[in-house]
């Protein structure tokens, strides 16, 4: 028996978990279970990022997405999940439309992913030997220095325009504005009773 390619084995494991729970998010109509399935699906996606060699992105996926965004989402679910909102059924006609839409999108996207010869698969290489940590190049790139592209700096990249310093600044200001806005929008107010007003 030939030896199993463990990279492929773990890829198929994580791909099965992330895709399976993504499908279950769609099929479930209970909002609390949907949040739980989404957590598992995004956690398995972090495993896929690690397998693609993006260690820092995988860690950020676990910390920001699974640890931050989804906790926020679960809080939203808990604050609004009362009585009829826990499970809201989708109408039958919508399911037919969704099946047609998803089938045609999948029939378009998946064969398109396998058309490019370059993407079909690597020649047998020792992938582990070529793995290198990406957090330092990513951090330097956010500060304005592309240490991964130092050799083609004079020709292709202009001085000061080669990295992600400006997007980094914009994203940090954007986060500040968004958090202030979210805190302003979600401040507690007394709920207006619709039935009382109609009297």
User: What residues numbered 43-62 form the site for another protein, per CB under 8 A?
Assistant: 45, 48-49, 52-54, 56-57, 60-61
Q: Which of 40, 47, 77, 161 binds another protein (CB under 8 A)?
A: 77
Report how far apart, in Å, the C-alpha atoms of 40 and of each of 44, 71, 80, 83 are: 6, 13, 22, 25
Taking CB under 8 A as the criterion, which residues in 108-137 touch another protein? 109-110, 113-114, 116-125, 127, 130-131, 134, 137
Q: Is 179 a residue that touches another protein (CB under 8 A)?
A: yes
Which CB atom, from 92 or from 154, has the smaller least distance to another protein? 92
59 and 138 in contact (C-beta within 8 Å)?
Answer: no
Q: How far apart are CA 65 and CA 1, in angstroms?
A: 40
Token pair for residue 14?
Answer: 């994580």
Pure H helices in 28-134: 31-51, 55-60, 70-80, 92-113, 127-130
Using CB under 8 A as the binding rule, the residues of this chain from 27 to 46 that contact another protein are: 31, 34-35, 38, 41-42, 45
Residue 66 found at the interface with another protein (CB under 8 A): no
């Amino acid at each position: 028996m030939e030896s199993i390619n463990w990279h492929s084995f773990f890829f198929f494991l994580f791909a099965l978990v992330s895709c399976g729970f993504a499908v279950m998010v769609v099929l479930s109509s209970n909002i609390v279970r949907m949040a739980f399935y989404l957590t598992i699906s995004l956690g398995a996606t972090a495993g896929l990022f690690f397998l693609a060699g993006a260690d820092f992105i995988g860690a950020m996926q676990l910390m920001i997405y699974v640890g931050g965004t989804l906790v926020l989402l679960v809080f939203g679910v808990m604050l609004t999940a009362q009585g009829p909102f826990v499970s809201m059924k989708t109408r039958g006609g919508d399911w037919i439309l969704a099946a047609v839409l998803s089938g045609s999108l999948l029939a378009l996207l998946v064969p398109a992913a396998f058309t490019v010869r370059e993407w079909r698969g690597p020649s047998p290489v020792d992938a582990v030997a070529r793995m290198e940590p990406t957090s330092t190049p990513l951090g330097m790139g956010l500060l304005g220095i592309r240490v991964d592209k130092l050799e083609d700096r004079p020709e292709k990249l202009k001085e000061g325009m080669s990295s992600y310093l400006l997007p980094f600044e914009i994203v940090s200001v954007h986060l500040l504005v968004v958090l202030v806005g979210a805190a302003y929008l979600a401040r507690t107010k007394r709920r207006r009773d619709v039935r009382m007003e109609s009297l």
